Amino acid sequence: MRVAPIFEAIGIAGPEYQEFEASLINSYEQGLAECLKEAGFEHTPHPPRQVNPVNDKDEYLEQAKASGYGIITQSDGVAFPEDDPRERFPYYAIDAETSATNQKTHEDAVNTNTAYQDSLTDEEYDEYQSARYGDFSEDDFVVDEDGNIVPVEPETDDTTTASCEEQVAGYLTDPAAEILDSEEFKDINDLLADFYETVDSADAIVAAYQPWSVCIADATGEEATHPSELIARITEEFGALLEEAGVFDDEDNEDALNEFLLEQEENDYEIDLEDDLDEEADEEFDLDFLEDDEEFLDEDEELLDDIEFDEEYEEFDEDGSEEFDAASYAEELGLEPAALVALLERETKLAAADVECRFSTGHFDSIRTAQAELEEQFITEHKAELDRLATAIREARAAI
């Protein structure tokens, strides 16, 4: 499985990265197991997950038919990681069989730990939670600028009373993220940002999208050179309906609408090396006690509190799956139900056609092939800068 040439060149994807990430996760899991054992509990260390995503056509189609792109329903609609140029390639140079084996091994360890926790009495489980995560309350968490619930940084570095998770958290730190953000490498980081922000406008990428464009036109009658154009059209039409209904009559609400439309159209991606590592640490972390606290609402819910999506707009199909009731939602907003129902139908049909066209035209392979060639060209043109960055990352990791 090919990884992104640029990411492999600087050591944040591919075999070198796999080996380093595995060492971090193994250290974290072993440290957690030892700490919990000292506290009188058990923990089976998880092997590194290292699983490449699989594009499941049936799953994408199900999402598309239920929610489209998630614009009107404000829920999880169909979304392709490949639309982010930084996410077009897997991070691990492994085949599908190895990926599936890693997933199964990881799940077995998770299930073993879950079974152990289920075997504890309520009192024992509370003690386990306290030993692993510490005694915390809502005041120990905040919402960061990305809308994620994160723990408050401790005021001191004293680890004598720290929970097991706090004691081993440092094992998951990859210095590459800090190096990439450092002033020393700002020039190359700016070059990388510019490359990924503009790569989709390159002739080779535009040409790679052409078969998809033809397929979409044949299937829907819509002319589009990129999937983002379809999403933008539905977003604008939804916004127009809201404006027409007077949902955003006052100045504050108009600003909220503009911000909403902007957020839907944004394509501002960042390299985040911590995601996979954080998943390992957070997989068994229970934050149920925060679910009912309005302070921890999702950013979009805060932004669109005037067009709130409530459970009352959900119905259930015969198979038990949820179905969005667009007519009731429209009436609540003061919209013409038929207009919103028609727009949601158009959105779901476009999204479904988008899915079908991506799979039928070999879209994923053609986009990766075109971008790989552009990345190789970038590496050739900036080899000295990339080598300097890769050396800094490699040396920082070796010093851990």
Q: What is the pLDDT of residue 116?
A: 96
Closest CA to 133 of 36, 29, 42, 276: 36
The pairing of strands 314-316 and 322-324 is antiparallel
Q: What is the pLDDT of residue 288?
A: 40
SS (HEC) of 114-154: HHHHHHCCHHHHHHHHHHHHCCCCHHHEEECCCCCEEECCC
| Alpha-carbon gap, residue 22 to 14, rounded angstroms | 12
Q: What is the pLDDT of residue 24?
A: 94
Closest CA to 9 of 372, 265, 288: 372
Name the pTM for this structure.
0.75
231 in Cβ contact with 69 (< 8 Å): yes
| Alpha-carbon gap, residue 312 to 198, rounded angstroms | 42
337 in Cβ contact with 327 (< 8 Å): yes
Q: Render each residue's pLDDT in the chain as its tens digit; 400 residues.
A: 689 999 999 999 999 999 999 999 999 999 999 999 999 999 999 888 898 888 889 999 999 999 999 999 887 888 898 899 999 999 999 888 998 998 999 899 999 999 999 999 999 999 999 999 888 666 767 888 777 777 777 665 555 568 999 999 989 999 999 999 999 999 999 999 999 999 999 999 999 999 999 999 999 999 999 999 999 999 999 988 888 888 766 555 555 555 555 554 444 434 455 455 555 554 444 434 333 333 333 333 433 344 343 444 444 344 434 578 888 888 888 888 999 999 999 999 999 999 999 999 999 999 999 999 999 999 999 999 999 999 999 999 999 8
Element (H, E) at 314: strand 314-316
Q: What is the pLDDT of residue 47?
A: 86
Q: What is the pLDDT of residue 152?
A: 74
DSSP structure class, residue 72: T
Domain that holds residue 259: 5-398
Say how many CA atoms lie within 13 Å of 206 toward its Cβ.
Answer: 5
Provide the domain count of the chain. Answer: 1
Q: Give CA separation, 356 vs 132, 149, 209, 215, in Å.
A: 46, 35, 14, 9
Q: What is the pLDDT of residue 399?
A: 92
90 in Cβ contact with 1 (< 8 Å): yes
Backbone phi and psi for residue 137, each to the nearest 5 degrees, phi listed first: -135, -175
Q: What is the pLDDT of residue 38?
A: 96
Cβ neighbourhood burial of 73 (10 Å; 0-12, 13-18, 19+): buried
